Structure 1
Amino acid sequence: MAQIKHYNWATLGTGVIANQLAQALEDQGRKLYSVANRSYDKGLAFAQKYGIAKVYETIDEVFEDPEVDIIYISTPHNTHIHFLRKALAHGKHVLCEKSITLNSEELAEAVQLAEKNHVILAEAMTIFHMPIYRKLSEIVNAGRLGELKLIQMNFGSYKDYDMTNRFFNRDLAGGALLDIGVYALSFVRWFMTSSPNQIASQVKLAPTGVDEQVGILLTNEEGQMATVALSLHAKQPKRGTIAYDKGYIELYEYPRGQKAVITYTDDGHQEIIEAGDTAQALAYEVADMEKAVAGIENTMHLDYTQDVMTIMSQLRREWGMTYPEEE
């Protein structure tokens, strides 16, 4: 395999994910090249913590810096398209935190910009990069489990009923769908043969008007079905179950999964599948992004990201739920 060069990464944002990115690079003996943040003081503190040499006084400087190869955007959802426009127009490769945009129209604009400027655009969706999913795909594609019938997804967080925090804040693009539903739907898309073309749902809105609790039923052309249950105010396991006619797969903590259990229908025996390490989630994303940028292999699955965004946009249209930026 061709040697992959180490690219200069810049972080736009200094939150939890930015810290994990910096740590992932440190584990490889590398450092982030630079940091951009709305607050210069926070950017400076972040840089001092990780020994990052360059801190920008204004965010726009990161887009104009010729030494920056890849920008990781981890700011709130509703700011993504604003920064994507600038980054892509300046010829920067971008790995953007989920949800990559608010809706499919914004994503289409970003994709067009990336194509025009010949750069890689991708969503930082861990499911597409954790080794367990590739291992399971090999097993499924070998026909060992037969035909896919049904996927069941759960993701429930218990967030304080504080309507000012980002989870329930409409001005920060809060709600279950964009925050946790994007994981469940990405999981569904990974295993389904084609994207769902029939969608039904129920929603309970929080007092702020964002989706607090959601139930979704999905079916594709092949007749494969999926159910998704989401909540921001009721804890439930992060569990995915994929049922085939010859057996079923169970994954817990699936956003960064490393272990799955297959139960075979004929005799009930179980097989444990392990691959990868939850703690290395950001490292896998970095490695895959650098392979894509280098032109070696593109496994970023922007096509799946687009399919998931189409579903989420359709659901919110049916609910009549919009964000201020969309009005």
Structure 2
Amino acid sequence: MQNINWGIMACGGIAHQFALAIKKLDNCTILASASNTVGRAKDFTKKHQIPRSYNDYQSLVNDPDIDAIYIASTHNFHFENIKLCLKHGKNVLCEKPFTINAQQAKILIRLAKTHNCFMMECVWTRFLPAIEHLKQLLAQNIIGDVHTVKANFSICDNFPPEHRLRNKNLAGGALLDLGIYPLTLAAIVFGEHPSRIQSSAVIGKGGVDESSCYLLEYEHHQRAILSASFIEEAPTEGVISGSKGYIRIPDFIGAQELHIKLENQTEKVFSFPFDEDENFTFEVSHAMHCMRENKKQSDILPLDKTTAMMTLMDTIRSQWGLKYPDE
């Protein structure tokens, strides 16, 4: 089996999760990491025993031994970082949100085709075994006609004003960072194209949404009632309700259980456990399978679904009048 040599672009917190995932997988190696912050890449390579470190991204993409690059930079840099990788013929795995808007995503898709590169957005929830099983259950109509999806993702850590979540210059806000997960659950159940979109947001002093809610309506009177926040405590949970029962997904972001309650029956629990350092193994394994098969995009999260999600979030932000400096 082809060994895939990875490079990591940006060495923040989420890059450590990626490095742990690679260690769990066969036939792949992290060959190099790069950071624009002096010393950070060196510290990162030492911690994860990576052979090479670079103090700039250009050196990383110039490395001829690297097959694919994982991009872990803040949202506002994704577009330029992906573009740099593609122009140097590197396959790309980029953290969500893929870009800050759909226009940027479409430009990158054309560029990936021009340079014949594989490219995929990292939305790790989509690749989890529990979510794969959920899709099978829904296809079997186990809860009958599905009417409603309810989902929330909230965290509350008293983030300081300079934190990336509060920073408009870094494309911060609850929607792009947290809200994409409830929106993803709705997309898995109902598809990518709601017929009506309503939303509201609490815009903080930093100019971004600190808390936001989204009501999506679909054909056949189906609805998704979704929310995200980094200023309040609330359960991170998804519930899919149908005519014959419901499926409850505790911590649906990293789903390991499906709780199924059908009419006149006791609740059943389906478990799909994995260790914390295996969080990203499912999406990374899938991406490498695609590369080895010479595919240029994922069949679980193809690029048209990524573009549809960016378009949806563009529409939601437009309802609040929220634009980022790069737009």
TM-score of the aligned structures, taking structure 2 as reference length: 0.94
- What CA distance in whole angstroms lies between the structure 2 residues aligned with 1:139 and 1:176? 30
User: Measured at CA, do residues 281 and 296 of structure 1 come closer, stay the same or move farther in structure 2, by a change above 3 Å?
Assistant: farther
In the alignment, which residue of structure 1 is the partner of 2:204? 206
Secondary structure of residue in 2 paired with 1:236: coil
What one-letter code is carried by the residue in structure 1 that aligns with 2:146? L
CA shift at 1:11, angstroms?
0.5
CA shift at 1:194, angstroms?
4.8
Secondary structure of residue in 2 paired with 1:209: coil
CA shift at 1:63, angstroms?
1.5
CA shift at 1:31, angstroms?
3.8
CA shift at 1:195, angstroms?
2.1
Secondary structure of residue in 2 paired with 1:237: coil
Alignment of 1:217-296 (within 5 A): 217-264=215-262, 266-277=263-274, 279=276, 280-295=278-293
- What CA distance in whole angstroms lies between the structure 1 residues aligned with 2:275 and 2:252? 10
In the alignment, which residue of structure 2 is the partner of 1:11? 8
In the alignment, which residue of structure 2 is the partner of 1:301? 301
Shifted more, 27-36 versus 223-232: the winner is 27-36
* 1:36 and 1:59 in contact (8 A); partners too: yes
- What CA distance in whole angstroms lies between the structure 2 residues aligned with 1:13 and 1:300? 26
Runs of 4+ in 1 over 4 A off after TM superposition: none
* 1:173 and 1:323 in contact (8 A); partners too: yes
Alignment of 1:122-137 (within 5 A): 122-137=120-135
- What CA distance in whole angstroms lies between the structure 2 residues aligned with 1:62 and 1:208? 33
% identical equivalent positions: 28
Deviations 1:238-274 (A, max 9, x none): 110011111111111111111110110x204211112
In the alignment, which residue of structure 2 is the partner of 1:74? 72
CA shift at 1:57, angstroms?
3.4
Deviations 1:170-204 (A, max 9, x none): 11111100110011111111111452121001111
Alignment of 1:62-141 (within 5 A): 62-141=60-139
- What CA distance in whole angstroms lies between the structure 1 residues aligned with 2:294 and 2:271? 26
* 1:188 and 1:226 in contact (8 A); partners too: yes
In the alignment, which residue of structure 2 is the partner of 1:52? 50
In the alignment, which residue of structure 2 is the partner of 1:20? 17
- What CA distance in whole angstroms lies between the structure 2 residues aligned with 1:203 and 1:57? 38
- What CA distance in whole angstroms lies between the structure 1 residues aligned with 2:191 and 2:99? 24
In the alignment, which residue of structure 2 is the partner of 1:314? 315
Deviations 1:118-158 (A, max 9, x none): 21211110111111011111111122222211000111111
* 2:39 and 2:55 in contact (8 A); partners too: no
Aligned length: 322
What one-letter code is carried by the residue in structure 2 that aligns with 1:239? E
* 1:20 and 1:282 in contact (8 A); partners too: yes
Deviations 1:32-87 (A, max 9, x none): 11101112411011111111111123211112222111110001000000111111
User: Measured at CA, do residues 224 and 295 of structure 1 come closer, stay the same or move farther in structure 2, by a change above 3 Å?
Assistant: farther
What one-letter code is carried by the residue in structure 2 that aligns with 1:27? K
CA shift at 1:26, angstroms?
1.9
What one-letter code is carried by the residue in structure 1 that aligns with 2:201? V
CA shift at 1:232, angstroms?
1.2
- What CA distance in whole angstroms lies between the structure 2 residues aligned with 1:130 and 1:159? 26
- What CA distance in whole angstroms lies between the structure 1 residues aligned with 2:10 and 2:53? 12
- What CA distance in whole angstroms lies between the structure 1 residues aligned with 2:34 and 2:103? 26
- What CA distance in whole angstroms lies between the structure 2 residues aligned with 1:40 and 1:69? 24
In the alignment, which residue of structure 2 is the partner of 1:165? 163
- What CA distance in whole angstroms lies between the structure 2 residues aligned with 1:194 and 1:322? 22
What one-letter code is carried by the residue in structure 2 that aligns with 1:242? I
Secondary structure of residue in 2 paired with 1:324: coil
Secondary structure of residue in 2 paired with 1:289: helix
CA shift at 1:276, angstroms?
4.5
> Alpha carbon RMSD of aligned pairs, Å?
1.6
CA shift at 1:161, angstroms?
5.2
* 2:25 and 2:285 in contact (8 A); partners too: no
User: Measured at CA, do residues 55 and 45 of structure 1 come closer, stay the same or move farther in structure 2, by a change above 3 Å?
Assistant: same
CA shift at 1:159, angstroms?
3.2
CA shift at 1:278, angstroms?
5.3
User: Measured at CA, do residues 132 and 203 of structure 1 come closer, stay the same or move farther in structure 2, by a change above 3 Å?
Assistant: same
Secondary structure of residue in 1 paired with 2:197: strand
* 2:192 and 2:308 in contact (8 A); partners too: no
Secondary structure of residue in 1 paired with 2:165: coil
TM-score of the aligned structures, taking structure 1 as reference length: 0.94
CA shift at 1:293, angstroms?
1.0
